[in-house]
């Protein structure tokens, strides 16, 4: 659809589409990227709309609940309570629903998620700004570690097929793949924390030691990593198994490709074949899964952060859910979804850079 | 008409014999067989044994007995209830919800995925867009929110919610498979015979994907159990009755990890959940190897 518009626009600018060879590739990419961006925006739009109606569907509509408790507790008039609610939820309960929805969307575009219901005076945006970076940090570091370790382990397994090291790594990989991250977190707490005393669990709570001022100094970085070690360990260990197993099967498949046989026949060195021919092509399919796994890990942070007391977005989400802080809840839900959408977009762009076939295929389908 | 029924019948039997073949090869792969035995044993034990065991009841005189105490092999919890009996009875809801949720999401995925691919056009666009959106929303976060606000005290409701959110991955896979299958000769023949969309999709095309769908069903069980136990652990699903997730939640809140005597209380559901998920993953992995002969031969 957008492809057709794009071609005609290009024709207007460049004349007949017969001869411009070099810009053709560029046009493909542009069209693909535009369509991918459009998809991302559409997703965010649908989720934002869904959130608006979800909040109104929740039992004991939070807006009405808030107004009635305010009237009961502080004895203020309905108008005053409604005005407060309007401020809190970025929506005015007295307006028709279409107008409310419109205002809600406009506010969201400005990054205005309203105020927290539990801690008056705190905006939802500031809650997110305080907690989200720590989750992105710990999940990001863990994902990079487990991706790299998994790829190396997977290639070792594929090259040493049916040897003891393959069986050993496959068993470990299956075991780690099977264990949920919160179960592993409990085991880490029990064994590394309580039994072996390697980590001081109470000192490691929070995202950094209270009183330490955030700065780009070594001691602060050290402090950050001390607090993030256990969550990173839990995320990385529970995801590394699946990366290794997927990489193993991908490598095994690549090893059977004709171009690898040809490369061998040409007498290229093993290390050259391993990195340039097998590794590069085997790792490609894994990139498309990177974004999905990121979303999964960010979602899983509600369990892991709760168990370690790590103060990221999952921790604050748990507090919002158990405290029925609808405003914060709604904001976090949106922001987590948007970060997953952005991660998906980045992974797709990265993937298409690495494997140009995707762009062409996408073009054909659209 | 009789002529038309011949290929249908023969393809139908291929589907069935293929299913039997999967079970046979599952027995040939040691890891898959061990996984199958673990899962079967856990299902049988949690489903049948509780009928022959006494009900657990709080007992103030026997609070937090360590594992190995007389009469209480795994000790007791902070209300004096026997841990072993709770552990044996605690798998029922977890396994039941896991399987029902996976059945719901698999059914949704088959219907949506195959219709999208077979009908194409706007049906396809709607299904793909919907799948993309649901896939992007972090399900655990949505489940946590919904689980906390709606009283999901019936396991069926919980299974509906979990299953209703986890269809997109398989839907896209089914769609891709049907796209390639619908170009095959036998499907074209069936279409020319005017057998009707429903029949062509469900009788001609789907049996060819039986093993693939079975594998994804087991992946679905695994992830449903992950989400379900996690919700119980955080206390975001109603803590009525007793299951492994609720045991974990109570032991965690009571600080069982800091007390040597109560370690068995928190570790027994941990071990049970790991065993169940490990069994499922081992079955799935060996199925994957059966489905993908390239993995075996090279």
Write down the mean pLDDT value for chain B.
81
Write down the mean pLDDT value for chain A.
80
What are the distances in angstroms from CA B92 to CA A121, B45, B53?
Answer: 46, 9, 14
Specify the pLDDT at position A303.
92
Give B278's contacts in chain A (Cβ within 8 Å).
174-175, 178-179
Query: pTM to 2 decimals?
Result: 0.82
DSSP 8-state code for residue B74: T
Specify the pLDDT at position A4.
42
Q: Is A39 on the interface with B (CB under 8 A)?
A: yes
Is 60 exceeded by the pLDDT of residue A103?
A: yes
Specify the pLDDT at position A23.
66
- Decide: A338 and A44 in contact? Cβ < 8 Å: yes
What count of residues does chain A have?
366
Specify the pLDDT at position B209.
81
Q: What ipTM goes with this model? A: 0.83
Q: Is B226 on the interface with A (CB under 8 A)?
A: yes
Is 50 exceeded by the pLDDT of residue B204?
A: yes
Number of C-beta neighbours around residue B8 at 10 A = 17
Strand partners, B82: B76
Contact (CB<8Å) B142/A333: yes
pLDDT bin (cut points 50, 70, 90) of residue A30 is low
CA distance to partner chain B, nearest, from residue A35 (Å): 13
Residues A249-259, mean pLDDT to the nearest whole number:
86
Q: Is A256 on the interface with B (CB under 8 A)?
A: yes
Percent of chain B with pLDDT over 90: 20
Cα–Cα distance measured from residue A89 to residue A84, given in angstroms and rounded to the nearest whole number? 9
Name the residue facing B298 among A186, A187, A255 (closest C-beta).
A255
Is 50 exceeded by the pLDDT of residue A5?
A: no
Name the residue facing A47 among B133, B252, B288 (closest C-beta).
B133
B298 vs A130, more confident: A130
Cα–Cα distance measured from residue A86 to residue A80, given in angstroms and rounded to the nearest whole number? 10
Percent of chain B with pLDDT over 70: 88
Backbone φ and ψ for A115, nearest 5 degrees, come out as -115, 155
Q: Is B292 on the interface with A (CB under 8 A)?
A: yes
The tens digit of pLDDT for each residue in B54-104 reads 777 777 777 777 777 777 778 778 787 888 888 888 888 899 999 999 999
Specify the pLDDT at position A14.
47
CA distance to partner chain A, nearest, from residue B2 (Å): 39
Q: Which of residues 67-106 of B touch A (CB under 8 A)?
A: none
pLDDT bin (cut points 50, 70, 90) of residue B23 is low
Residues A91-115, mean pLDDT to the nearest whole number:
80
Q: Which of residues 282-311 of A touch B (CB under 8 A)?
A: 292, 295-296, 298-300, 302-303, 306-307
What are the distances in angstroms from CA B39 to CA A313, B44, B92, B248, B275?
Answer: 35, 9, 12, 21, 8
Alpha carbons within 13 angstroms on the beta-carbon side of residue B234 total 32
Is 90 exceeded by the pLDDT of residue A231?
A: yes
Specify the pLDDT at position B11.
42
- Structural domains of chain B sorted by starting position, each given as residue range(s) with its CATH number in brackets: 23-295 (1.10.3720.10)
Q: Is the dihedral of CA A154, A158, A163, A167 positive or negative?
A: positive
What are the distances in angstroms from CA B291 to CA A246, A325, B110, B213, B295?
Answer: 15, 48, 18, 11, 9
Q: Which of residues 318-347 of A touch B (CB under 8 A)?
A: 318, 321-322, 329, 332-333, 336-337, 340-341, 344
Range of weakest confidence among A80-89, B125-134, B175-184: A80-89
Residues A52-68, mean pLDDT to the nearest whole number:
75
Q: Which residues of B26-44 are buried (b: 16+ CB within 10 A; e: fewer)?
A: beebebbbebbebbeebbe
What are the distances in angstroms from CA B203 to CA A22, A91, B9, B21, B190?
Answer: 49, 51, 9, 19, 10
Specify the pLDDT at position B1.
35
- Structural domains of chain A sorted by starting position, each given as residue range(s) with its CATH number in brackets: 56-112 (no CATH), 124-365 (1.10.3720.10)
Give B280's contacts in chain A (Cβ within 8 Å).
178
B224 vs B11, more confident: B224
pLDDT bin (cut points 50, 70, 90) of residue B191 is confident
Number of C-beta neighbours around residue A205 at 10 A = 16
A23 vs B192, more confident: B192
A75 vs A29, more confident: A75
Specify the pLDDT at position A18.
52
- Decide: B130 and B116 in contact? Cβ < 8 Å: no
Residues A37-60, mean pLDDT to the nearest whole number:
83
Cα–Cα distance measured from residue B41 to residue B23, given in angstroms and rounded to the nearest whole number? 17
């Amino acid at each position: 659809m957008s492809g057709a518009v794009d071609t005609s626009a290009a024709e207007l600018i460049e004349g007949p589409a017969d001869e411009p060879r070099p810009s053709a590739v560029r046009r493909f990419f542009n069209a693909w990227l535009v369509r991918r961006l459009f998809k991302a925006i559409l997703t965010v739009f649908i989720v934002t709309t869904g959130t608006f109606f979800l909040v109104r569907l929740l039992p004991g509509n939070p807006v009405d609940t808030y107004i009635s408790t305010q009237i009961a507790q502080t004895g203020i008039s309905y108008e005053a309570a409604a005005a407060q609610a309007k401020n809190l939820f970025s929506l005015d309960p007295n307006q028709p629903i279409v107008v409310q929805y419109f205002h809600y969307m406009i506010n969201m575009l400005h990054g205005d998620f309203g105020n927290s219901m539990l801690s008056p005076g705190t905006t939802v945006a500031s809650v997110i700004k305080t907690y989200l970076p720590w989750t992105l940090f710990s999940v990001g570091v863990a994902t990079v570690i487990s991706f790299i370790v998994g790829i190396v382990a997977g290639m070792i397994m594929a090259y040493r097929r049916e040897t003891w090291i393959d069986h050993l790594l496959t068993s470990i990989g299956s075991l780690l793949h099977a264990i949920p991250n919160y179960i592993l977190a409990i085991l880490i707490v029990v064994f590394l924390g309580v039994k072996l005393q390697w980590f001081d669990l109470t000192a490691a709570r929070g995202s950094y030691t209270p009183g330490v001022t955030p700065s780009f100094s070594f001691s602060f970085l050290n402090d950050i990593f001390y607090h993030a070690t256990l969550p990173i360990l839990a995320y990385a260990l529970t995801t590394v198994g699946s990366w290794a197993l997927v990489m193993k099967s991908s490598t095994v498949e690549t090893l059977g490709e004709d171009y690898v046989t040809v490369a061998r026949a040409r007498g290229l060195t093993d290390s050259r074949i391993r990195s340039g021919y097998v590794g590069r092509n085997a790792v490609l399919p894994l990139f498309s899964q990177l974004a999905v796994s990121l979303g999964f890990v960010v979602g899983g942070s509600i369990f892991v952060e709760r168990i370690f007391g790590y103060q990221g977005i999952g921790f604050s989400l748990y507090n919002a859910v158990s405290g029925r802080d609808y405003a914060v809840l709604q904001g976090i839900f949106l922001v987590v979804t948007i970060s997953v959408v952005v991660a998906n977009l980045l992974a797709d762009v990265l993937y298409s850079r690495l494997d140009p076939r995707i762009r062409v295929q996408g073009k054909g389908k659209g | 008409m009789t002529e038309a029924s011949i290929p249908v019948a023969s393809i139908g039997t291929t589907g069935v014999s293929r299913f039997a073949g999967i079970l046979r090869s599952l027995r040939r792969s040691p890891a898959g067989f061990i996984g199958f035995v673990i899962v079967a044993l856990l299902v049988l034990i949690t489903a049948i044994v509780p009928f022959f065991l006494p009900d657990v009841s709080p007992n103030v005189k026997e609070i937090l007995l360590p594992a190995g105490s007389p009469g209480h092999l795994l000790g007791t919890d902070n209300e004096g209830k026997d841990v072993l009996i709770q552990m044996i009875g605690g798998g029922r809801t977890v396994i039941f919800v896991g399987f029902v949720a996976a059945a719901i999401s698999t059914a949704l995925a088959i219907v949506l995925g195959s219709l999208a691919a077979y009908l194409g056009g706007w049906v396809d666009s709607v299904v793909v867009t919907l799948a993309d959106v649901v896939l992007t929303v972090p399900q655990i976060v949505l489940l946590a929110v919904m689980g906390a606000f709606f009283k999901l005290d019936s396991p069926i409701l919980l299974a509906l919610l979990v299953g209703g959110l986890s269809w997109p991955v398989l839907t896209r896979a089914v769609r891709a498979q049907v796209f390639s299958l619908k170009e095959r000769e036998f499907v074209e023949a069936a279409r020319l015979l005017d057998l009707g969309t429903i029949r062509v999709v469900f009788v001609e095309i789907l049996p060819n994907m039986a093993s693939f769908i079975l594998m994804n069903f087991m992946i679905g069980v695994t992830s449903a159990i992950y989400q379900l136990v996690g919700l119980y652990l955080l206390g975001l699903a109603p803590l009525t009755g007793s299951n492994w997730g609720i045991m974990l939640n109570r032991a965690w809140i009571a600080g069982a990890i800091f007390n040597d005597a109560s370690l068995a209380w928190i570790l027994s559901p941990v071990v049970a959940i790991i065993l169940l998920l490990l069994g499922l993953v081992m079955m799935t992995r060996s199925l994957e190897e059966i489905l993908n002969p390239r993995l075996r031969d090279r």
